[in-house]
Amino acid sequence: MSELKEVLTKDGSFTLRSLVFQENFHSLEGALKETEIKFINPSNLKRFTDKSLNVLDICFGLGYNSASLFNNLIRQNSFMNWYALEIDKKPLKYSLGNKSFQKLWHPKVSKIFKELSKNSKYKDQSFVCDILWGDAREKIKNIPANIKFDLIYLDGFSPQKCPQVWSVEFLAKVTQKLNPQGYLITYSCSAAIRRTLKDFGLNIFNIKPNLVSKNLWSNGTIAIKIIDKKVLQNNLYFKNLSSMEEEHLLTKASIPYRDPTLSSNKKDIIQKRVQEQLLSNLETSKKWRDKWGMTK
């Protein structure tokens, strides 16, 4: 754990800071709060009451997203087939050793996590769970091709810190596994990620921020292939992109991360993108920010 540092967030929940990636696993506003606002609430889990669903959690990390997911589904009698992709076993071990983390959830969540840590699998009458350890770009191939997901959580370190899980090529594999009316949910509002998903034919939506300001205009992104207009009208958590956000997708910031072999390192992926941006005639992000009165 020497490369991971414990951090207490404002809502009283703990997260970790990766000294390798120089980034926290969660916002300092609150690890639990972030999970609920950016992943669980937009998922609209009540639609799966007494029903079955398939879920893929990419970059499982400490397990907040899936713990909260399990916690909700346990209480509403849902049946789930769940997969997770994660390269590092240490965050899960931390979660299992943190009493305050364990107290947040139904006791069954701890039971599931212990089995996942020990055997990488868990199964009972309601849940079938598999965590695939290793590079997500490789391990995603081990998920049976016939499984399509109703929910996909994409929660890796930010694109600039870990572009390997945000590339065009990896996101192509991810979106291929999404059910037509499934939700791909991420905290990222990066123009590069949104543009990539849009180019794959997905409808892109903004996860509504709690407080709207010039610099806090999104809590993330939901991508859906086919959406019922009634669902969009009636939900409280996401909306169509604003004109400002649409214009963001026409700037140099929208140039994607590329990893043709799905084996490139961070440095090479970033360098390729910088070169492509330098050669691009698209508007700069600075001009976009200046137009919309943003300070950063």
Which region holds residue 179: left if phi is over 0, alpha if psi is between -120 and 50, else beta?
Answer: beta
Residue 229: what pLDDT? 80
- Residue 66: the pLDDT is 98
Q: For the chain, what are the domain ranges?
A: 4-291
pLDDT for 214 equals 58
- Across residues 9-15, what is the average pLDDT? 93
- For residue 296, is pLDDT > 60? no
pLDDT confidence tier of residue 234, bands split at 50, 70 and 90: confident
d(CA 172, CA 178): 10
- CA-to-CA dists, residue 95 to 64, 90, 101, 110, angstroms: 9, 9, 6, 9
pLDDT of residue 11: 92
Gap between the terminal Cα atoms of the chain: 34
232 falls in which pLDDT band (50, 70, 90)?
confident
Percent of the chain scoring above 90 in pLDDT: 89
Q: How far apart are CA 148 and CA 264, in angstroms?
A: 27
DSSP of 47-77, one letter per residue?
A: GGTTSEEEEEEES-TT-HHHHHHHHHHHTTT
* pLDDT of 215 strictly over 90: no
- Show Cβ contacts of residue 260 under 8 Å, excluding neighbours closer than 6 positions: 169
Q: What is the mean pLDDT of residues 103-109?
A: 96
Question: What is residue 211's predicted lDDT score, i.e. its pLDDT?
Answer: 63
Distances (CA, A) of 270 to 141, 160, 164, 194: 24, 7, 10, 17
pLDDT of 39 > 90? The answer is yes
* pLDDT, tens only, 40-54: 999 999 999 999 999
**Average pLDDT score over the chain:** 94
pLDDT > 60? residue 158: yes
Structure tokens at 88: 């590092």
Most distant pair of Cα atoms in the chain: their distance: 56
> Angle 36-41-45 (CA atoms, 0-180°, nearest 5)?
120
Element (H, E) at 43: helix 41-43
The CA-based dihedral angle spanning residues 87, 164, 193, 30, taken in that order and rounded to the nearest 10 degrees: 40
Residue-wise pLDDT for 244-287, tens only, equals 999 999 999 999 999 999 999 999 999 999 999 999 999 999 99
E strand residue ranges, 111-148: 121-123, 127-133
Between residues 218 and 259, the one the model is more confident about? 259
Per-residue pLDDT band at 115 (split at 50, 70, 90): very high
For 259, the token pair is 């990893």
Q: What is the mean pLDDT of residues 174-199?
A: 97
| Whether residue 213 has pLDDT greater than 80 | no
Does position 95 have pLDDT exceeding 90, yes or no?
yes
Q: What is the DSSP string of 213-279?
A: -SS---S-EEEESS--HHHHHH-SSEEEPPHHHHHHTTBGGGPPP--TTS---HHHHHHHHHHHHHH
Q: What is the mean pLDDT of residues 98-110?
A: 95
Q: CA-based Rg of the chain, rounded to a whole angstrom? A: 19
For domain 4-291, give its CATH number from 1.20.1740.10, 3.40.50.300, 3.40.50.150, 3.40.718.10: 3.40.50.150
DSSP per residue, 88-104: -SHHHHHHHH-HHHHTT
Contact by Cβ (8 Å): 149, 241: no
